[in-house]
Amino acid sequence: MIKYWKDYKWSNVFAMIHNLKLDPKICTDNFSGHMVVITGATSGIGYATARKYASCGADLLFINRNENKTKELVEELSREFNTNSSYIIANFSRLSEVHQAAEQLRCNERNIDVLIHNAGVYLTKRILTVDNNEEVFQTNYLSTFILNYYLKEKLRNQKSGRILFVNSEAYRFAAFGIAMDDLTWSKHKYSGIKSYGAAKMAQLLSMIEFNEYFQGSNISINAMHPGNVRTNSGQSNGWLYKIFKKKVIDRGAIPLSISADALYYLGVSADLDNVSGKFFNLTTEEELTPPALDRDEAEKLWMISLELGGLNGR
């Protein structure tokens, strides 16, 4: 995996550091009559983004795991913005539920104008799901892959649409790419940063393939870093991590509204017409690191994901 080193550029790192300080571009367009799907809208970035789209007139459909929190959200948006919203309940730690949600969404008669893959976790300890995948990989990556895979034809048949990945600059921690032969971390030493970086890297590699699939259509697929924001992320980790998060990570946090504004701009602004396969630091386009641009690895991961996601033959 040392193969990437010669392609790394310091200018790429400096650009990222510079971009982290920039405010997002703002879109003030109304989005009435449009349908927006958000995963993980019950807290943090997803919640703030749901409120942003609702305040601009969009109809919303959530894919969340917690029904009570979701009902409260639907009521809140209806009360405050008169929003028309609905939901599907699915825990991404269970692939059977992801398949059901994907099928339900595929059969929904409405077009999807914006699909925001936001649900995600950060874990400091390795956990295996009932499907025998590593939890961070399954929740942050494999579930988004399955949803996109089910929806790709529906989307392609639409006049237009945008897919957005709430990714992270932490994808850079997978500096040597992904260990495709050890996606469950049974052979390599596990750490939160490494597993999270690998899952976000996997999402970016899938973007290469989906972007190719959507060529010639008006469907775009882009990824973004939402900034460092104070959310519920990491709350299931141990006390040491929680202290570190509170005292160090959260100290530099930006307001949640900034992430939501960025996700609104990327989903709605005409500036993004015909822009696909790109990564944005909030709303600033940024060059990806070499392993995130590796087409051979993207193809390999696609085949593995079909297998792990139970999608072969579908």
Ligand X SMILES: NC(=O)c1ccc[n+]([C@@H]2O[C@H](COP(=O)([O-])OP(=O)(O)OC[C@H]3O[C@@H](n4cnc5c(N)ncnc54)[C@H](OP(=O)(O)O)[C@@H]3O)[C@@H](O)[C@H]2O)c1
Binding site for ligand X (CB under 6 A): 40, 42-46, 64-66, 69, 91-93, 118-121, 139-140, 166, 168, 225-226, 228-229, 231-233
Q: How far is the CB of 291 from ligand X (least distance, A)?
A: 18
Q: How far is the CB of 295 from ligand X (least distance, A)?
A: 24
Closer CB to ligand X, residue 66 or residue 108?
A: 66
Q: How far is the CB of 288 from ligand X (least distance, A)?
A: 15
Q: How far is the CB of 27 from ligand X (least distance, A)?
A: 20
Closer CB to ligand X, residue 85 or residue 231?
A: 231
Closer CB to ligand X, residue 62 or residue 302?
A: 62
Residue nearest to ligand X (CB): 44
Closer CB to ligand X, residue 191 or residue 217?
A: 191
Burial class (CB in 10 A: 0-12, 13-18, 19+), 138: buried
Q: How far is the CB of 256 from ligand X (least distance, A)?
A: 8
Closer CB to ligand X, residue 3 or residue 251?
A: 251
